[in-house]
Amino acid sequence: MYDFVVVGAGPAGSRFARSAAEAGRDVLVLESGEIGRPLACSGHVSLDIWDFLPGEGDRRESSESRAVNDERSESSAASAHDDLFQNDIYGARFHLGGADSEAHTFYKDEPVSNAIDRVGLDKTLAECAEQAGAEVRDGYTVTDVDEKPGRVEVTAKGPDGVESFECRIVAGADGPRSRVRQEVGLPDPEELLHGVLGFDFEPDDEDYVDVHLTVPRFFAWRIPRGEAGVEYGLAVAPGDDAPGRFEELLEDYDVELDERCSGAIPIGPPERTVGKRSFLVGDAAAQTKPFTGGGIIYGMRAADIAAREIDPEQPATLENYETAWREELASEQRLGKLIRAGYSMPKPIQKAGMKAFSGEIGVHMDRPTSLFSKAQLRALLSWN
């Protein structure tokens, strides 16, 4: 019997598998298709991403486990940044209209974020989980999760037919439309937006992303990705015309895309994320930023909390995880929700706010609470 079966090998699932395996747990990860595919998530991330990848920046890895893994991770430690990095981003240009509209620029003199290879990120994190001792299998679609006294039975359709796996705890890291969440009867996120992405492979190493507050209740974006090209995207509320609005964005930029994809973006955590012998992590738990929809870093922070708090032989410790991850992310998510409300304010108020605050910033893109930091205060004072 496994200690944990993790359903989903995205960033949150693979990060939990790695952290749990490093803690001595017996972990199986099941991914429904090819790891990293189909792509349905932006590759624009804060610099914190490198803390979760092999190398000196991985401060979350214990010195003991690092010593164990030094030999087998040496090559990946040297290459993770080079393999995944695409472009440095120094700030954002905010528009209330299209591509040619007035831009309000927010910037730093050093990179604030990176564009990365999003598919490569999933593959690298899954490899990290395997190196830590987790068993990772792709091509396994989970069809049933049954919480029984003393164990959980997970049924999946794999390359060789239907198989069943027993574990003490099952982790639902299987995205916005989580099958685990459905099977164990946990509630849905507050909201599922419809996100659309597209890629132009013409190289672009520009320093700024473009954000357009032209989509009701959310926004559209353009992200330069260096030699990998440019990412375009937007998200809309259910029932809105995502394809039509996306075509308008592309026409505005006069661009034809080489690749497209789409997916759901969960906003607002459900009332509960733990069951009798189950828990949700990452997008399945809507551990995302309400003002951007991004959840890579939040999900991996929650994954580390799960590995720390949950004892597979003591299901009652699931409640420790429920409490701890909410305490970790609550302030950021609450403030992020208020920031998102600004997207729907009347245009004159938006314009006045942007003029007042555009310029050098001291804000961390994953931490809305940094709006009240000393760094941001210094940036505000420097404008005078």
What is the pLDDT at residue 61?
Answer: 43
Could you tell me the pTM of the whole model?
A: 0.89
Residue 260's DSSP bridge partners are 198
Strands 2-7, 161-172: pairing is: parallel
Rounded to an integer, what distance in angstroms lies between the CA atom of residue 17 and that of residue 28? 8
Burial class (CB in 10 A: 0-12, 13-18, 19+), 159: exposed
Q: Which residues are within 8 A (CB) of 330 and not within 5 positions of it... i.e. 6 or more apart?
A: none
Other Cβ atoms less than 10 A from the Cβ of 241: the count is 11
* Domains in the chain, CATH or no CATH each: 2-90+114-191+268-343 (3.50.50.60)
Residue 194's DSSP bridge partners are 236, 264
Cis, peptide link before residue 54, omega less than 30° from 0: no
3-state secondary structure the chain: CEEEEEECCCHHHHHHHHHHHHCCCCEEEEECCCCCCCCCCCCEEEHHHHHHCCCCCCCCCCHHHHHHHHHHHHHHHHHHHHHHEEEEECEEEEECCCCCCCEEEEECCCCCEEEECHHHHHHHHHHHHHHHCCEEEECCEEEEEEEECCEEEEEEEECCEEEEEEEEEEEECCCCCCHHHHHHCCCCCCEEEEEEEEEECCCECCCEEEEECCCCCCCEEEEECECCCEEEEEEECCCCCHHHHHHHHHHHHCCCCCEEEEEEEEECCCCCCECCCEEECHHHHCCCCCCCCCCHHHHHHHHHHHHHHCECCEHHHHHHHHHHHHHHHHHHHHHHHHHHHHHHCCHHHHHHHHHHHCEECCCECCEHHHHHCHHHHHHHHHCC
Rounded to an integer, what distance in angstroms lies between the CA atom of residue 358 and that of residue 274? 41
Question: What dihedral angle (degrees, nearest 10) is formed by the CA atoms of 36, 41, 42, 43?
Answer: -20
What is the pLDDT at residue 375?
Answer: 54
From the first residue on, what is the mean pLDDT of each consecutive set of 10 residues in the chain (384 residues)?
A: 97 98 98 87 92 66 41 52 93 93 91 95 96 96 96 96 97 97 97 95 96 92 96 93 95 94 94 98 96 94 98 97 96 90 88 79 76 52 44
Rounded to an integer, what distance in angstroms lies between the CA atom of residue 314 and that of residue 58? 29
Strands 91-95, 103-107: pairing is: antiparallel
What is the pLDDT at residue 143?
Answer: 97
What is the pLDDT at residue 227?
Answer: 96
